[in-house]
Structure 1
Amino acid sequence: MTEPSTSSKAAARSTSPQVAVRGEARLEVDPETARIGITVGARGSDRRAALNDLTRRNNAALELLKSYGEAVEKIETGAFAITPELRSGRTERVRAYYGKVHLQAVVADFTALGELTTRLADLELTSVSGPWWGLRPDSPVHRRTRQQAVRQAVERAREYAEALGAELVGLIDLADPGAEALPEMAPASFGGTRGAAAPGAASGQPPALDLEPRRQTVYARVNARFTITAPIL
């Protein structure tokens, strides 16, 4: 007996009844990381003095971050700027120099997060923003969400087929429009702008903030088409 050709199989499939469905999944899970932003500043009438202060304060922030070891998963330096402020008038006389360095840190140990943020905010001319809670790109949560969306598509297609007195026969195609974690609003910044020790600093470290991790919503969607047996109408 001769096997049906590929073209004849495609023709038979195109004439078979089909059902198109969408599968969706939404999971709420605990975050895996917290990202914080640190901005270190300096101001002085002399460029070199402003740079020296900026370097010293930047090193102090980096040393504090590194002192937490594996609790801080990543440290990155972003933008750096040193800007002269001119006096008003016809001559180009510099009134002061402003310097800034932006840092980002990814914290994996949330038990250290509250203490770390307040200690950073207690540094000279240092502000802190965040935290931004998130999941790692390779988190197994993304895989679970996509698989759940596929299973829902199969279940939904089977329900439609059963409503027609038919059964699922095969999969025609499966498309993934994308899976993503829903974005969260950016929190406000907090920090210190002091030039000397803050009140109470002599008595020890500032009290740690009580930061509650914000649960993350991961969403996935797939579009699928299936062939079914002849409906019984």
Structure 2
Amino acid sequence: MTGLPQILFEDNHLLIINKRPGEIVQGDKTGDAPLVDQLKIYLKEKYNKPGAVFLGLVHRLDRPVSGAVIFAKTSKSLSRLTRMVKEREITKIYWAVVDRLPEPEEGTLVNFLIKNERQNKSYPAEEHTPGAKRAELRYKLIASGKTYHLLEISLLTGRHHQIRAQLALAGCHIKGDLKYGAARSNPGGSISLHARMLDFIHPVSKEKINIIAPVPANPEWQYFTDNNSHQAGALSF
């Protein structure tokens, strides 16, 4: 994978990019170059900055997931955005392509999840299980094809692999997500989960920021997008 991801927004305090599936935002045990390091190089070269470049990661996306990620270019914006994430002042909307029509077609999922560190996977748990955390999201169907369906997801909590685990528990497996029960993989190991929209008040300027991240250029995403995906209809796959 070469070149920087698409930049969706940049000013003196923020840098928001459209992460491609397969990219990692922070370094991990693979040793692959993380986005944060690549973006520091970009900023250093673009602005001819001497010395080390500051770039703070505000939130994360799993490696196989695509979509909008916020980085902070100043310590002031990082501290304020970190607080905003904690206090749920940043609206995050995801799109997910799933293998089963949800029942009902719009609703709320509430589960208690516990993370298995060794497996890097979240499992359902009883409410009072040590380490279990409450997970809540809202979903609605926005398009259907013959085999797959497009859901819009609004996160109400931020748990490890929350969307992947909760949809799987509801019987709606995300396309390509073998870890959570999908029947087959996607090319390149991606999963069909995309961080589609961010909406928040800029931590410094106080202007309203609304970011829409274009979907990856592959057949299922493009087909939903090209066929007015905000209205359910008969699609070809």
Instruction: Please give the TM-score of this superposition, normalised by the length of structure 1.
Output: 0.30
Q: Which has the larger radius of gyration?
A: 1
Task: Name the structure, 1 or 2, with higher relative contact order (CA <8 Å, separation 6+).
Answer: 1
Higher strand share: 1
Higher helix share: 1
